[in-house]
Amino acid sequence: MTDPSPPPEAGDIMTVVHEAVGGIELEPAEKREIWRFTKRELPYLWSQRTSYFILGSYRDPYIRRLRAVQNELAKQLGAYPFIMGDLLELPTDRLNTFDIMFSLLATYSDYIVGVFEKESGGEAPELGEIDDQPYFDKSYVFPRDYAWVTDDNLKSDQHVVQAALEIAFADDLSEDEAQSKIESLVNRAQDSGLDIDEQAVWSSIDDRADEGAEPATYSWVHLNKFRKFELHDRCFPWTTEGELRTMVDELPTPTPRPEWEASEDQ
């Protein structure tokens, strides 16, 4: 097998790689592996299709939600949704290969889509990468059970459902106490003008109980990062997989070209 030659965009690619590795000198074999990766994977990102780099946990059952997002996006003509774990790996022992692959894919993708259900695992540092430039403007987050909730800030169905889930799964409340608090919560939301059905709230609680999964919990750092995306209208909370599939429609469609691309050319 012949060694891969540098692609025409080698200079820009190596700028991204050197930032990812902290500027250390690469060995010839390492460069060859990077060229092999870029010539195999980056052409899909440079094509006329709109690329969506999907982030999240690869462990079961979380990977199923990443596949759900990927499948929904794949239904759109001209979309290329992908998960890094499916791509060619960089077989180098010395380098921080995740950082290299992530930086290249995030740089050349049209959009980055993060699906979050917990605060631990590889998706935690990924959130820290995409909440700032150069990736922030093209990134969107889908945190499960997230709501920027305060006692007097029930502004959407998601806020009420999230608060109700926390009550329902609280260890220090009896069943009757939890029911009473949830009924009071829904009444307060309705009194404030929110059109929410109490039965719909209980259905969400029952679905989560049937799934056997407690509500997702996040650190204050995570919540603040989600809030940043929320303030920019790029945060889409969800509770069930069905809701997640529906929320995918909120992402930019494959056409026209992304706004961040035009701003970079200025």
Element (H, E) at 20: helix 10-20
Boundary (domain end) residue, out of 211, 227, 255 = 211
What pLDDT was estimated at residue 17? 93
* Overall pTM surpassing 0.85 (yes/no): no
| pLDDT given for residue 88 in this prediction | 85
pLDDT at 143: 93
pLDDT tens digits, one per residue of 1-35: 456 677 777 889 999 999 999 999 999 889 889 98
Is residue 2 one of the residues assigned to a domain? no
Per-residue confidence (pLDDT) for residue 1, from 0 to 100:
47
The answer to whether residue 4 is domain-embedded is no
Q: Residue 18: what pLDDT?
A: 93
More confident residue, 76 or 260: 76
Q: Give the pLDDT score at 162.
A: 77
Domain shared by 18 and 99, yes or no: yes
User: Residue 200 is part of which domain span?
Assistant: 157-211
Judgement on whether residues 230 and 126 belong to the same structural domain of the protein: yes
| Same domain assignment for residues 14 and 117 | yes
- Determine the longest span between alpha carbons in the chain, in angstroms: 71
Q: Decide if 184 is inside a domain.
A: yes
pLDDT digits (tens, 9 = 90+) for 41-88: 998 898 889 999 999 999 988 999 999 999 999 999 999 999 999 998
Helix, strand, coil tally for the chain in percent (to 5): 55, 10, 40
Separation of alpha carbons 69 and 245, rounded Å: 6
Domain check: are 34 and 117 in the same one? Answer: yes
Mapped to the 3 state alphabet, what secondary structure does 166-196 carry? HHHCCCCCCHHHHHHHHHHHHHHHHHCCCCC
Q: How far apart are CA 163 and CA 141, in angstroms?
A: 20
141 part of a folded domain: yes
pLDDT in tens, 142-176: 999 887 754 455 667 777 887 788 777 766 678 88
Instruction: Give the list of residues 6+ apart from residue 88 with CB closer than 8 angstroms, or none.
Output: 36, 37, 40, 41
Could you tell me which residues come within 8 angstroms of residue 215 by beta carbon, excluding any fewer than 6 positions away? 145, 162, 165, 166, 169, 208
Count of domains for the chain: 2
Token look-up 């820290």 returns 128
